[in-house]
Amino acid sequence: MEHSAGIDVSLESASICVVDGSGRLMCEAKVASEPEVLIGWFGGLGIAAARIGLEAGPLSQWLYAGMRAVGLPVELAETRHVRAAFKTMPVKTDRKDARGIAQLMRLGRFRPVHCKSLPAQEVRALLTARKLLQSKNHDVEMSLRGVLRGFGLKVGPTTPRTFPNRIRELVAGHATLLMISEALLAARGALFEQWQKLEKRLRSLWPARITASGC
């Protein structure tokens, strides 16, 4: 008789449930959310699971890749589909979620999700970090413009290169505004520098690695 397993993942721990072909509960456990720990647990189970389910998520992709690498029949299930299946649960717990995922695996009622390759995940992380630095750089600039506007000092059109000199020109002779401006300009400079480093890294990867990773 085939067995199916479900894993509900949290940051520190993973709840595991194994059921048989009729849906009968065989065993449950709670272990650390680490690929090696999960691999070891299933290796010592004594029951070969035909399908192991993980709800898709940032941590799940890492666990999935590690388990797949040693040949475990793990599947990533689409999050919205899993959540919809659990709507009737009166009380949600990690243990109950693991049971629910195991039953979905047993019945085949899940939507598999493609797990991105490690290179694709790296590119996505770079894009996310670059966007964050770019956004914060813009926020600092706009905040500085807003502070000076309150004193009747209008920055006007600038470029990334001319912005600092324009600010210093406006606050010359204003001790408090000068201190504020220098602090914000220093923050802006650090953000801009790191943003450009990530931009350079992404450009070095494009198009060869990004194309190869399917992004």
Tens of pLDDT, residue by residue over 123-157, are 888 999 999 999 999 999 999 999 999 999 999 99
pLDDT at 88 over 70: no
Q: Which residue has the higher pLDDT, 122 or 170?
A: 170
Q: What is the mean pLDDT of residues 182-196?
A: 96
Q: Residue 215: pLDDT band by 50, 70, 90 thresholds?
A: very low
Tens of pLDDT, residue by residue over 4-59, are 999 999 889 999 999 999 999 999 999 999 999 999 999 998 888 899 999 888 78
The domain locations on the chain are: 3-107, 118-213
pLDDT score at 213: 45
CATH architecture of 3-107: 2-Layer Sandwich (3.30)
pLDDT score at 87: 73
Alpha carbon of 39 to those of 33, 64, 140, 157, 198: distances in Å?
11, 10, 46, 58, 35
